[in-house]
Structure 1
Amino acid sequence: MKKLAWLILSPLLAAPVFAADLMQVYREAQDNDPTFAAARATLDAGREKMPQGRASLLPSLTLSGNTVWNENEVSLFNGATLGKPHFNSNGYQLTLSQPLFRWQNWVSYDQSKIQVAQAEANFAQARQDLILRVAQAYFDVNYAIENLKAVRANKTAIAQQLESAKKNFEVGTATITDTHEAQARFDLAVAQEIAAESDYEVKQRSLQAIIGKEAGDLATTRKDAELTAPQPNDMNQWVAAAEKDSIAVQVQQANADIAEREVGKQRAGHYPTVDLVANAGNAKSFGSTALGMIDTEYQNIGIQLNIPIFQGGQVASRQREAAANRTATLSNLEAARRTAALSARQYYLGVVNGLAQVRALKAALVSSQSALESNKLGYEVGVRINIDVLNAENQVYVTRRDLARATLDTLLAQLRLKGAVGALGEDDIAQINALLERPAVQ
């Protein structure tokens, strides 16, 4: 009885299902995607680089203390013992140090500023990646729905044709071949439906992994939605923008700037350092058998100069290491620029060719529907056979599915193109959202 009650209540206790459009799903992903949450925490950590770098330029204050129990025996050379004093020596010291000239500290501070900018760029990349991951998962679900609809519609039509073929065979107006062909098509349609249902379930779970809950019914592309060409409609302008503004290029540029400063930082290992040092404290210790315990209060201030002379070649080696790393970062920067340019070309062509494909498939869909009507009429008057009608119906469903895929791929290419130039944001989601129509919540 308890098991039965649980089976009844468990659907009511499951995660809530909501109907959403692309913008709502993106909002959910911002709050629930663990990868984006990790990127946000990484940004917070990266921002701490600046106060850490600035700290090396500011004064430091330390307090130290000690206490030691002593058991000594004081004697002369002739063996006479003067005493066995037992005493506790202790003391404390407060030290203030202010760097006056440490060139490597200034370089580190400059590096920290670049590291913060780099952390901001990495987070911007994570935000763009989130948009693309959400859009990809969202469109995958939409396509899986369209594919499932097409497969089921095709199965229904084939079932009708199978029923008609059986009746026609019974009355002698069709051959057994028509029935066998329709049965074979129907069995194949059943298998396709099972595969489509499985694919739809997988795509739903992929989206759920990002937003942390079931998405429910999703808004789909309106049939009258008009896709627009990229602006500016010039591939070279997009390539130039990608080479300059791509976030990947910005990150590698920051790496190159940090490496350039690292060379100067390691070179500073040959430079002298100057610090202002002040301390104050108290020390209690045993002076002699005659003086007993001595209590000393002291305060002093001075300038401390350190000049490195030789450190076993370590400084020169680190300088060569930094120079090699700088060369590597410059190569990585050039690679990032080339990759950004290639991506801009690829996604620009993806949008342009996608728009042409959408237009062609829309025309093909109209033609396929006309061909289907003609074949149905021909079958009724006896100039077409059952297999002709099945082929025409299948062509309609395949064209409709391909049109859905081309439309969604073009929308995704538009987002990726904006991402290639580092300009992908919520406004782009809103523009695509305007092309969607939300289903009624069930």
Structure 2
Amino acid sequence: MRHRLLLFAGVAVLAVGPASAETLRDALVRAYSTNPTITGQRASLRATDEAVPLARADGLPSAAVDARYSEDFQQAANQFFAPARSVTGQASLSVPLYAGGAVKNSVRAAKTRVEAGRANLRGTEAQLFTDVVAAYLNVIRDEAIVELNGQNVRALEVNLQATRDRFEVGDVTRTDVAQSEARLAAAVGQLRGSEATLIASREFYIRTVGAAPESLEQPPPLPGLPDNADAAVAVALENNPTLIAARRNSDAAGFDARAARAQRLPQVSTFLGGNYFNNLSSQNAGNVSVNSGSGASAGVQMRIPIYQGGAPAANVRRARALESVAIEQVTATERAVIEQARAFFANWQSSLRVIEAAETQVSANRLSLEGVRAENSVGTRTILDILDAERELLNAQVTLVTARRDAYVAGFALLAAMGRAEARDLGLDGGPLYDPDVNYRRVRGGLWDWSDGARAAPVASSTANTPAQTPVVTKPLDPELQRGVDTGPANPDR
């Protein structure tokens, strides 16, 4: 049984919050149902399913009826006894008996490619969910950064006003005012840049999820993460869908090579045929031939290839070369999976360490800012010291929210590399999960030539009517990142 994550266990817990709040699980469910990347991959898999009945059809009976009506407008002189009008009909049935293993191996190759297609669909799910997680956390991060920059601007505005007041009473110089003005202008520019980044993140969220982000809740913790890189690699080598797909494609290429060798072997089939003709009484009176008749025949036929210009050998060599390509692709994919698992594990661990350091840095910088302001009030610190302390605190806070985002995304990407970040792993029960076996069972044994299936129609939702996003943030900052606005230097005259 595949490992099942409890990432979204306890739906009631995740539902707690404002009615308009959106959880990560909500975003994943919506993307799973409406994202065009995954709906397109499902359609691609359905096309791959059809390769099985196509391969099997070469080994099944085939029947045909030919009919012809002809009328001579002018007869040649030497065609005196030929009928002027005639109707002919012929029915035939052919049943292959032996094709040198071509049909059997072609069917095996087709079935194996269906397995590869299902693995590719799993990989598409995992990649889509990784993109959704990244988009979700990007919005949360960038909203926090906008709020932090706005908080910094408000603090610098208060600081500038206090500095101007002190300049008027001669407590500071014009240089102090200029420094405050320059730092405020830089903070405003930084705020505008962070707002543009937030808009871009929200638009990417719409592209990925299919709807505008509402008030996004913090995501739940990621369970099931490995203790070390070796454990991650071991699971990835067994469960990674891209690697599984490469292995199945390699197996299918081997069946293709076997099918190619069958071109040099005899082929045996049985046949049954019947014919009918009617001259429609169009023969001359002197012609005593019958005007109509019928016949039937049956038998066995064998085709033994003797020489085909070297084509069979070329096809076998090509199939074997393609099999070698597929084998090497397995090794290349395996290397990539190992690299991803180790890199994502390292990124996850690194981000956790950055979070710890950033939390300490934020706490220390907050105390430092308070101390610098107090020391400035007694003349032992300059305005520039205050401005530098403000900037260091902002940078530490931005580092913290960025590291939290990076840790979560890296952790989820690690789960995806391990093959544990797909719909069934995440328990997305917002609707019936897509079952690729349903379509396969429906078409694999199809014998009817007139079963066309449903017409192609769009499944994914359009985002054309989604309004353009703005940088407005309505969700308050995390309390540990908040600080009072009135943080200007103390007025010694108070």
Does TM, scored on the shorter chain, surpass 0.5?
yes
Q: Read off the aligned partner of 2:277 and give its amino acid letter.
A: A
Distance 1:184 1:418, change over 3 A: same
1:80-119 paired onto structure 2 within 5 Å = 83=80, 86-102=83-99, 103-119=101-117
1:97-176 residue pairs with structure 2 within 5 A? 97-102=94-99, 103-176=101-174
Q: Which moved more, 1:309-318 or 1:117-126?
A: 117-126
CA deviation string 1:378-430 (max 9, x = no partner): 12232222222222222222111111111111111111111112221247767
Task: Work out the CA distance in 1 between the residues paired with 2:81 and 2:256.
Answer: 58
Matches within 5 A, 1:170-319: 170-220=168-218, 231-284=225-278, 290-319=287-316
* Aligned residue number for residue 434 of structure 1: none
Letter in 2 for 1:346: A
2:58 corresponds in structure 1 to: 56
DSSP-derived class of the 1:252 partner: helix
Cα gap change, 1:85 to 1:123, in 2 (>3 Å)? same
> When you count strand as a share of all residues, which structure comes out higher?
1
Q: Measure, in 2, the Cα distance between the counterparts of 1:32 and 1:395.
A: 43
SS state of the match for residue 292, structure 1? Answer: coil
Give how far 1:31 is off. Answer: 3.0
Aligned partners of 2:375 and 2:210: how far apart in 1?
53
Q: Counterpart of 1:12?
A: none
2:325 counterpart letter in structure 1: A
Given residue 355 of structure 2, which amino acid in structure 1 is its aligned partner?
A: V
Aligned Cα root-mean-square deviation (Å) = 2.5
Structure 1 segments unaligned to the other structure (5+ residues): 1-17, 76-81, 432-437
Note the C-alpha offset of 1:338. Answer: 0.5
Give the secondary structure class of the aligned counterpart of 2:215. coil
Q: Do 1:242 and 1:337's aligned partners in 2 also have CA atoms closer than 8 Å?
A: no
Alignment match, 1:24:
26
The CA deviation string for residues 243-297 of structure 1, in whole angstroms up to 9 with x for no partner, is 3332221121122111111111111111101112112231235899533344222
TM-score by length of 1: 0.86
Which of 356, 364, 378 does residue 361 from structure 2 map onto? Answer: 364
2: CA distance between counterparts of 1:114 and 1:287? 60
Whole-Å separation in 2 of the counterparts to 1:296 and 1:120: 56
2: CA distance between counterparts of 1:358 and 1:94? 79
- Greater CA drift, 284-293 or 273-282: 284-293
CA contact (8 A) 2:92 2:271 kept: yes
Q: Which residue of 2 aligns with 1:33?
A: 35
Please tell me the residue identity of whatever aligns with 2:247: Q
Residue aligning to 1:8: none
Q: What's the CA shift for 1:310? A: 0.6
Q: Which moved more, 1:286-295 or 1:86-95?
A: 286-295
Q: Cα offset for 1:345?
A: 0.5
Q: State the identity as a percent.
A: 24
2:338 aligned residue: 341
SS at match of 2:211: coil
> Contact 1:150–1:398 at 8 Å: present in 2 too?
no
Instruction: Decide which structure has greater helix share.
Output: 1
Partner of 2:319: 322
Partner Cα distance (2:108, 2:212) in 1: 47
Question: Counterparts of 2:416 and 2:209 in 1: how far apart (Å)?
Answer: 21
Which digits, 9 at most, give the CA deviation of each residue in 1:287-345, with x for residues without a partner? Answer: 99533344222222211111111111111111111111111111111111001101111
- Pair 1:392 & 2:389 matched: yes
Spell out the pairing of 1:393-408 with structure 2 (5 A cutoff): 393-408=390-405
Which of the pair has the greater relative contact order for Cα pairs under 8 Å at 6+ separation?
Answer: 2
Distance in 1 between residues matched to 2:106 and 2:82, nearest whole Å: 52
CA distance in 2, matches of 1:52, 1:259: 17
TM score, norm. by length of structure 2: 0.77
Partner residue, 1:417: 414
Aligned equivalents of 1:169, 1:316: Cα separation in 2: 93
- Structure 1 residues 382 and 264 mapped into 2: Cα distance closer, same or farther (>3 Å)? same
Cα displacement (A) at 1:37: 2.1
Gaps of 5+ in 2: 1-19, 429-473, 477-494
User: C-alpha separation between the residues in 2 aligned to 1:399 and 1:37?
Assistant: 41
Deviations 1:89-132 (A, max 9, x none): 22222222211111211111111111211111111111111101
Q: Is the 8 Å Cα contact of residues 415 and 428 (structure 1) preserved in structure 2?
A: no
Q: Which shifted more, 422-431 or 409-418?
A: 422-431
Cα distance change on mapping 1:287 and 1:85 into 2, 3 Å: closer
**Amino acid across the alignment from 1:152:** G
Relative distance call for 1:390 and 1:428 in structure 2 (3 A) is farther
> What is the aligned residue count?
408
